Amino acid sequence: MEVLWVVVGILVVLALVGVASYNRFVSQKNLIRDAWANIDTELRRRYDLIPNIVETVKGYASHEREVLENVTQARAMATGATGSPAAQAAAEGPFVAALRQLFAVVENYPDLKANQNFLALQAELANTEDRLQTARRFYNANVREYNRRVQSVPSNIIAGMFNFEEEEFFEVEEALRGDEGVPKVSFEPGAPGVSFGTPSEPSTAPPATPPAGATPPEPQRPDQPPV
């Protein structure tokens, strides 16, 4: 009889553990769904900004037809990408590249860079990009934790029983995005209105000291390609 109660107790514990694991999977799936909704909201906000930016640029640089058409077409492709996060990320790469090309053209038009409407649109785009990156990091962190449980023992048993499959990360392909990152607004004199610098942590390491008698390298000019 005692053995029977022990077996029943073990089964009850296993059932409770299984229920808890299942409920956690459900909670994580809902959290990932909500996190993706935040990304989608910021993407749609960015898509809504682009036509106004294109129209403003067109007023000063109407002959830059190819650049303007590239942005419009890339936006249409990104807007129409309603599949998985990976498919959406693949469509975002050309779109960001087209935006980079557009803002490079803007640098040739000082009057456009000083236009108050354009400056306001730039600022709104930069704020949207910041919110998008925050939402992306939150989404990917939840996907990472969820996928870890799908792969790990013993939670993978519950995942297999109830078809909890791994989720996709939302990452723009580096080959498409390049090293420039997301657009950042700058109003410093002589600085581009929008650049695509990727934020980086400040280095705490001391500068390297050249060997005795060695000639220090000449400082690299901004227009020189990196070595």
Residue 216 lies in a domain: no
Domain assignment present for 222: no
Answer yes or no: is pLDDT of 199 > 90: no
Query: How far apart, in whole angstroms, are the C-alpha atoms of residue 44 and residue 117?
Result: 20
Q: The domain containing residue 171 runs over which residues?
A: 2-195
Give the CB-side neighbour count of residue 207, counting CA atoms within 13 A.
Answer: 3
What is the number of H-type helices and E-type strands within the chain?
7, 2
Provide the CATH number for the domain around residue 39.
1.20.1440.20
Determine, yes or no, domain membership for 95: yes
Residue 101 has which token pair? Answer: 């090309």
43's CB contacts (< 8 A; 6+ apart) are: 78, 88, 92, 132
Residue bearing tokens 């996907």: 143
- What is the pLDDT averaged over residues 136-148? 96
- Residue 211 confidence (pLDDT) above 70: no
Are 125 and 46 in contact by the 8 Å Cβ rule? The answer is yes
Query: What pLDDT is recorded for position 2?
Result: 79
Residue 136 domain flag: yes
As a whole number of Å, the end-to-end CA separation of the chain is 79
Residue 227 belongs to a domain: no
What average pLDDT does the chain have? 80
Q: What angle do CA 56, 39, 36 make, to 5 degrees?
A: 155
pLDDT at 151: 95
Residue 223 lies in a domain: no
Question: What is the pLDDT, as a whole number, of residue 139?
Answer: 96
pLDDT tens by residue, 163-195: 999 999 998 754 433 344 444 444 344 444 444
Q: How confident is the model at residue 226 (pLDDT cuts 50, 70, 90)?
A: very low
Q: Is the pLDDT of residue 145 over 90?
A: yes
The Cα 50–Cα 156 span in angstroms is 44
Q: Is residue 141 part of a domain?
A: yes
Question: What pLDDT does 173 receive?
Answer: 52
Percent of the chain at pLDDT above 70?
Answer: 75
Provide the pLDDT confidence category of residue 214 given band limits of 50, 70 and 90: very low
- The single-letter code of the amino acid at 207 is P
pLDDT tens-digit map of 80-130:
887 789 889 889 989 999 999 999 999 999 999 899 999 999 999 999 999
- Structural domain contains residue 165: yes
Count of structural domains, the chain: 1
Quote the distance between the C-alpha of residue 154 and its chain's center. 32
195-222 mean pLDDT: 42
